[in-house]
C-alpha cells in the first residue's frame, strides 16, 4: 500500500540524515483534514526535540533525501516541521486499477499471520442471554472477522459459565420444584424460576450446598441433571447465535478446566506466588499501587477454586493448544480488576510467555432515563426479545418505504436492516463509554447508522441494474474530478482502517470509515454523472469506482457482522 511505501522511504531518508536515530517510530498517518494533504507525519518534530535540533531544519534536510515522487506531489513542510504528502492522481488511479483486479481490494493480507484467540460472548448456563451479553457477542464477533479479513488465524472460544455455586441451588430446585411442562415450553425461564425460588429461601442453603458437593464429587444423578441443564441452555444460545450469524470454533466451558485447577494452585504455591491467607490461598501484589490492597484468591477456604483459578488454567490450555500471539477477552468493564489480577499472576507464573493479553472491555447500555437498560416492568431485557423487536420495528420502516414489495420480501429486508441496526448501534460507539439505547436513532435512514450504509449499498447496486457491468479486466480507471479523487483516496484507506481496528480492538473506527465512505460516494454520485458520462471510457471508469465502493461497503459491513440487501 502506498502509505506503507511512503513510510519506508521516509524512514530511510530520516536514517540517512540521522544515522544513529531509531526511525521505527517515524510513521505516516492519514491526514484528518484533506485540506492539508492525504498523509502526514509529525514524527520528525519528536526526533528533533530529542536532539535539541531545529525541527524545521531537520524536516528540510530529510525532505532533501526523500524520494516519493512516484506517488506524491512535492512534499510540503508545514508549521514547525510537519510533512504533508499529497498523492498524485496517476498514483491513485494505479492503486485503484490494482484493487479492481484484487480478491481483497485495498487490503494487505498479513505476510506473517498472527494467531489470536478471541474469548467472547461467554454467557452463563441456566440464565437467559440478556442485553448485557450483546456487546460482548457483537464486539467479539466483529474483532474476529476483522482479524480474519487481514489474514490472521483466529480461534473464537465461548467460555461458557457452566460451573459454580449456583448449581447447588439449581440441582435442589430441579429435584424439588421442577415443572416438567414449563421446562418443555421455555427451559431457561423454568431454570431461572427454580433458581430464584431456592435462592430466596435461607433455610435451603445447606441442602443446596449438599447438592453442590455431590456434584463436585461426581454423583451420577447430579452430573446427569447438570449435563441436561447445559444442553438446554446451549440450545437457547445457539438459537440466538444463528440469528446473529455468529459461530464459535470452540465452546469450552469453565467446567472443562476442572481437572486442571488443583495443579494450578499447587504450582502457584510451590513457586511462592500464592500464599495462605485466612485459610484461603491468595496472591498479593505489593509492588502494584493499584492492586496492593486487592489480593486475588485462587483457592477459597473450603478448598474450592474460583473464576481466577479457572482463567489461569484456561490461559495455560490455550497457549499449549494454539500457541497464540494474542488472547483477547471481551467483557464488561466491571471485570477490569479480575483481568488485571489474572494477567499479573500469569506473568509471574510463566514469565517466558510473550503472548499479548488484552482485556477488551466495554461500558453499559443505558435506557432513555440514563439508567441500565430494562424492560418497562423493570426486568432485564432478553436478547431474543430484543432481536424480535429490532426486526419488527425495521419491518415498519421497510414497509413504509417499499409498500409495493410483498410481505416475505419485506420481512427478509427487515431482518437484515433490524439486526444490522442493532449491531451497528453497539459497534459505532466507543466501546468504553456507556450509550443510550435508542430504537429511532439506530433505525434512522440518515446519520451514522446501519440502515444508512445498507441504503448506500443499494444505491450502488441499483446502478448495476440500469447498466451492464463492463469487463473490469479491460477498464482503465481515470479519476480526475475532485469528488472522484476524494472517493478514490478514501477507498485506499480501507486496509489501514482495518489494521487500526485490529490493533486497538475498536470496530467504531471501521464504522466511521464506512460512514465517511458513504458520504464520499454521495458527493461523487451527485457531481459526476455515471450513466450519462461524457464518453464511454469515463463512464466505465466511473462504473468501476461504483463497483469498488460497493465491494468495500459490503466487505466492511461484513467485517462488522452486518448483512446487505440489494433493495430496501
Total number of residues that touch ligand ARG (CB under 6 A): 10
For the bound state, the minimum distance from the C-beta of residue 241 to ligand ARG, rounded and expressed in Å, comes to: 15
For ligand ARG, the closer CB: 122 or 156? 122
Indicate the burial class of 424 (C-beta count within 10 angstroms; 0-12, 13-18, 19 or more).
Answer: buried
Query: Are the beta carbons of 160 and 228 closer than 8 angstroms?
Result: no
For the bound state, the minimum distance from the C-beta of residue 429 to ligand ARG, rounded and expressed in Å, comes to: 20
Rounded to whole angstroms, what are the CA distances from 564 to 377, 456, 497, 498, 561? 35, 10, 20, 19, 10
For ligand ARG, the closer CB: 105 or 123? 123
Rounded to whole angstroms, what are the CA distances from 70 to 31, 75, 395? 19, 12, 51
Sign for the CA dihedral angle at 95, 99, 100, 101 comes to positive
Cβ-count burial 442-457 (b if 16+ within 10 Å, e if not): bbbeeebbbbbbbbbb
Tell me the per-residue interface mask from 331 to 350 with ligand ARG, x by CB under 6 A, - otherwise.
Answer: x-------------------
Chain positions 288 to 327 lying near ligand ARG, rule: CB under 6 A, are: 311, 314
For ligand ARG, the closer CB: 161 or 168? 161
Q: What angle do CA 229, 233, 237 make, to 5 degrees?
A: 165
Chain positions 496 to 555 lying near ligand ARG, rule: CB under 6 A, are: none
DSSP string covering 13-34, please? HHHHHSTTS-GGG---EE-SST
For the bound state, the minimum distance from the C-beta of residue 216 to ligand ARG, rounded and expressed in Å, comes to: 19
For ligand ARG, the closer CB: 119 or 483? 119
Query: Are the beta carbons of 97 and 476 closer than 8 angstroms?
Result: yes
Phi, psi at 156, each rounded to 5°:
-95, 130
For ligand ARG, the closer CB: 85 or 237? 237
Rounded to whole angstroms, what are the CA distances from 552 to 218, 453, 522? 54, 11, 15
For ligand ARG, the closer CB: 136 or 541? 136
CA distance 324 to 318: 7
The yes or no reply on residue 161 touching ligand ARG (CB under 6 A) is yes
For ligand ARG, the closer CB: 165 or 476? 165
For ligand ARG, the closer CB: 331 or 555? 331
For the bound state, the minimum distance from the C-beta of residue 397 to ligand ARG, rounded and expressed in Å, comes to: 33
For the bound state, the minimum distance from the C-beta of residue 81 to ligand ARG, rounded and expressed in Å, comes to: 46
For the bound state, the minimum distance from the C-beta of residue 434 to ligand ARG, rounded and expressed in Å, comes to: 18
For the bound state, the minimum distance from the C-beta of residue 319 to ligand ARG, rounded and expressed in Å, comes to: 14
For the bound state, the minimum distance from the C-beta of residue 336 to ligand ARG, rounded and expressed in Å, comes to: 12
For ligand ARG, the closer CB: 312 or 553? 312
For the bound state, the minimum distance from the C-beta of residue 338 to ligand ARG, rounded and expressed in Å, comes to: 7
Beta strands in 158-277 (DSSP E): 275-277
Closest CA to 512 of 494, 531, 530: 494
For the bound state, the minimum distance from the C-beta of residue 142 to ligand ARG, rounded and expressed in Å, comes to: 17
Beta strands in 89-185 (DSSP E): 115-119, 153-157
For the bound state, the minimum distance from the C-beta of residue 327 to ligand ARG, rounded and expressed in Å, comes to: 9
CA distance 323 to 369: 46
Tell me the per-residue interface mask from 124 to 143 with ligand ARG, x by CB under 6 A, - otherwise.
Answer: x-------------------
Beta strands in 191-333 (DSSP E): 275-277, 280-283, 296-299, 326-332
Select the residue interacting with ligand ARG from 82, 85, 329, 525 (CB under 6 A).
329
Helix (H, G, I), strand (E, B) or coil at 325: coil
For ligand ARG, the closer CB: 123 or 495? 123
Four-CA torsion 373, 378, 380, 381, nearest 10 degrees: -70
Chain positions 358 to 377 lying near ligand ARG, rule: CB under 6 A, are: none
For ligand ARG, the closer CB: 308 or 541? 308
For ligand ARG, the closer CB: 159 or 551? 159
Residues 6+ positions from 49 with CB-CB distance below 8 Å: 55
For the bound state, the minimum distance from the C-beta of residue 161 to ligand ARG, rounded and expressed in Å, comes to: 4
Query: Are the beta carbons of 142 and 507 closer than 8 angstroms?
Result: yes
The DSSP element (H or E) to which 135 belongs, if any, is helix 131-149
Helix (H, G, I), strand (E, B) or coil at 2: helix
Chain positions 106 to 125 lying near ligand ARG, rule: CB under 6 A, are: 119, 122-124
Residues near ligand ARG (CB under 6 A): 119, 122-124, 159, 161, 311, 314, 329, 331
Amino acid at each position: 500500500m502506498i502509505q506503507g511505501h511512503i513510510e519506508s522511504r521516509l524512514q530511510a531518508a530520516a536514517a540517512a540524515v540521522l544515522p544513529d536515530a531509531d526511525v521505527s517510530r517515524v510513521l505516516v498517518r492519514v491526514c484528518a483534514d484533506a485540506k492539508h494533504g492525504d498523509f502526514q507525519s509529525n514524527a520528525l518534530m519528536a526526533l528533533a526535540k530529542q536532539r535539541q535540533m531545529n525541527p524545521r531544519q531537520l524536516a528540510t534536510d530529510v525532505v532533501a533525501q526523500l524520494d516519493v515522487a512516484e506517488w506524491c506531489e512535492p512534499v510540503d513542510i508545514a508549521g514547525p516541521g510537519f510533512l504533508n504528502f499529497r498523492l498524485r492522481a496517476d498514483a491513485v488511479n494505479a492503486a485503484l486499477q490494482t484493487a479492481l483486479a484484487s480478491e481483497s481490494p485495498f487490503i494487505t493480507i498479513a505476510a506473517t499471520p498472527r494467531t489470536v484467540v478471541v474469548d467472547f460472548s461467554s454467557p452463563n448456563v441456566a440464565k437467559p442471554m440478556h442485553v448485557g451479553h450483546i456487546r460482548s457477542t457483537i464486539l467479539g464477533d466483529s474483532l474476529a472477522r476483522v482479524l480474519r479479513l487481514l489474514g490472521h488465524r483466529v480461534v473464537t472460544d465461548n467460555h461458557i459459565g457452566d460451573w459454580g455455586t449456583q448449581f447447588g441451588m439449581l440441582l435442589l430446585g430441579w429435584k424439588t420444584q421442577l415443572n416438567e411442562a414449563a421446562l418443555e415450553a421455555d427451559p431457561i425461564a423454568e431454570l431461572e424460576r427454580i433458581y430464584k425460588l431456592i435462592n430466596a429461601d435461607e433455610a435451603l442453603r445447606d441442602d443446596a450446598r449438599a447438592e453442590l458437593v455431590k456434584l463436585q464429587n461426581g454423583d451420577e444423578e447430579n452430573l446427569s441433571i447438570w449435563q441436561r441443564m447445559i444442553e438446554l441452555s446451549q440450545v437457547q444460545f445457539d438459537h440466538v447465535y444463528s440469528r446473529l450469524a455468529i459461530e464459535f470454533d470452540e465452546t469450552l466451558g469453565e467446567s472443562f478446566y476442572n481437572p486442571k485447577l488443583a495443579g494450578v494452585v499447587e504450582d502457584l504455591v510451590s513457586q511462592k506466588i500464592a500464599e495462605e491467607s485466612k485459610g484461603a490461598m491468595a496472591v498479593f501484589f505489593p509492588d502494584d499501587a493499584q492492586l496492593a490492597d486487592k489480593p486475588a484468591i485462587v483457592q477459597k477456604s473450603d478448598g474450592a477454586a474460583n473464576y481466577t483459578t479457572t482463567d489461569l488454567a484456561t490461559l495455560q490450555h490455550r497457549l499449549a493448544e494454539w500457541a497464540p500471539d494474542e488472547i483477547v477477552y471481551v467483557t464488561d468493564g466491571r471485570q477490569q480488576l479480575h483481568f488485571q489480577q489474572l494477567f499479573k499472576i500469569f506473568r509471574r507464573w510463566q514469565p517466558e510467555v510473550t503472548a499479548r493479553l488484552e482485556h477488551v472491555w466495554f461500558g453499559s447500555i443505558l435506557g432513555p432515563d440514563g439508567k441500565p437498560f430494562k424492560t418497562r416492568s423493570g426486568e432485564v431485557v432478553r436478547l431474543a426479545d430484543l432481536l424480535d423487536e429490532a426486526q419488527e420495528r425495521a419491518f415498519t420502516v421497510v414497509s413504509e418505504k417499499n409498500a409495493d414489495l410483498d410481505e416475505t420480501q419485506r420481512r427478509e429486508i427487515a431482518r437484515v436492516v433490524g439486526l444490522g441496526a442493532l449491531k451497528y448501534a453497539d459497534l459505532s460507539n466507543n466501546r468504553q463509554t456507556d450509550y443510550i439505547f435508542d430504537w429511532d436513532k439506530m433505525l434512522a435512514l440518515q446519520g451514522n447508522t446501519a440502515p444508512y450504509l445498507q441504503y448506500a449499498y443499494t444505491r450502488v447496486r441499483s446502478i448495476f441494474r440500469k447498466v451492464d457491468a463492463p469487463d473490469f479486466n479491460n477498464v482503465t480507471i481515470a479519476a480526475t474530478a475532485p469528488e472522484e479523487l476524494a472517493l478514490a483516496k478514501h477507498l485506499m484507506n480501507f486496509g489501514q482502517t482495518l489494521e487500526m481496528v485490529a490493533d486497538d480492538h475498536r470496530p467504531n473506527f471501521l464504522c466511521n470509515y464506512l460512514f465517511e465512505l458513504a458520504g464520499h460516494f454521495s458527493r461523487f454520485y451527485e457531481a459526476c454523472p455515471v450513466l450519462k458520462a461524457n464518453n464511454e471510457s469515463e463512464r466505465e471508469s466511473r462504473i468501476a469506482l461504483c463497483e469498488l465502493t460497493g465491494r468495500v461497503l459490503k466487505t466492511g459491513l461484513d467485517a462488522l457482522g452486518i448483512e446487505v440487501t440489494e433493495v430496501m
